[in-house]
Amino acid sequence: MDKPVNNKTARSSKSAAISRRPSRAEAEDAVRTLIRWAGDDPEREGLLATPARVVRAYEEWFAGYNDNPRDYLKRTFEETGGYDEVVVLRDIRFESHCEHHLAPIIGRVHIGYLPRNRVVGISKLARLVEVYARRLQIQEKMTAEIASCLDAVLKPHGVAVVTEATHQCMTTRGIHKPGVTMVTSRMLGVFRDHAETRQEFLSAVGMRGSVHGNGSG
């Protein structure tokens, strides 16, 4: 007679298997498998070092999994001379990868926030974008994550994030439509509730009211 399946044990075993990070050798073997599946020979001279190169590239492309984005926002400054206007950092270039096809997403992020009583160094805003970009992503989620993290850590009067990007999963495969740009937004606090504050931000990033005050674009 078959033993009954313990669903809790089965789930725990599956979770443990997922959480175990493969070794570098296992990752390189996976690349060799994909090369063979594509129809080539991973043992030929031109491809011998490719698995190692791909794994090193993955370490760089997905380094965001090793960082806590909140760490970059911990150091803030309260000596602002009474500054109480919107802070905007625009055109933060990023490179990410689509979680559906592992294809590149290349674009830029514009960030704005209205400080309550403290500001953060502008380089830290760029670092924040990098952490989330260097993970498997969809653009909508990345936009929301950046805004939510800023809002939770700095607790400003409001946060605005707009992302513009091209997706290689759309331009190099499937529908093959180059030149298409996707725009997503997340407006929180005063940027969502007050049209004049939202328009000030959009004007600063050169969008002139093209994004409305909904939670996400």
pLDDT for 80 equals 78
Q: Tell me which residue has tokens 């206007």.
A: 85
**What six digits make up the tokens of 107?**
């674009």
Give yes or no for residue 57 having a pLDDT over 50.
yes
> Cα(47)–Cα(16) distance, rounded to whole angstroms?
33
Look-up of token digits 């606090």: 189
> What is the percent of the chain with per-residue pLDDT over 70, rounded to a whole number?
87
Mean pLDDT of the chain: 90
Nearest CA to 110 out of 171, 191, 47 is that of: 191
The string of DSSP codes covering 7-20 is: HHHHHHHHHHHHHS
Residues 151-188: tens digit of each pLDDT: 999 999 999 999 999 999 999 999 999 999 999 999 99
pLDDT for residue 217 = 41
pLDDT of residue 84: 84
166 alpha-carbon distance from chain centroid: 14
**What residues does 104 pair with on adjacent strands?**
97
Average pLDDT over residues 71-98: 92
User: Using CA of residue 139, residue 145, residue 147, residue 148, what is the dihedral sign?
Assistant: positive
Helix (H) or strand (E) holding 133: helix 122-133
- Report pTM: 0.86
| pLDDT surpassing 50 at residue 1 | no
**CA pair distance 190, 214, nearest whole angstrom:** 12
Beta bridge partners of 87: 113
Q: Could you give the C-alpha distances from 31 to 24, 37, 39, 47, 134, in angstroms and in order?
A: 11, 10, 13, 10, 20
Sorting pLDDT into bands at 50, 70 and 90, what band is 210?
low
Q: What percent of the chain has pLDDT over 90?
A: 78
pLDDT number for residue 13 = 53
pLDDT for 109 beyond 90: yes
* pLDDT for 209: 53
Q: Which residue has the higher pLDDT, 117 or 153?
A: 153
> Annotated catalytic sites, by residue?
98-101, 139, 167, 169
pLDDT confidence band for 108 (50 / 70 / 90): very high
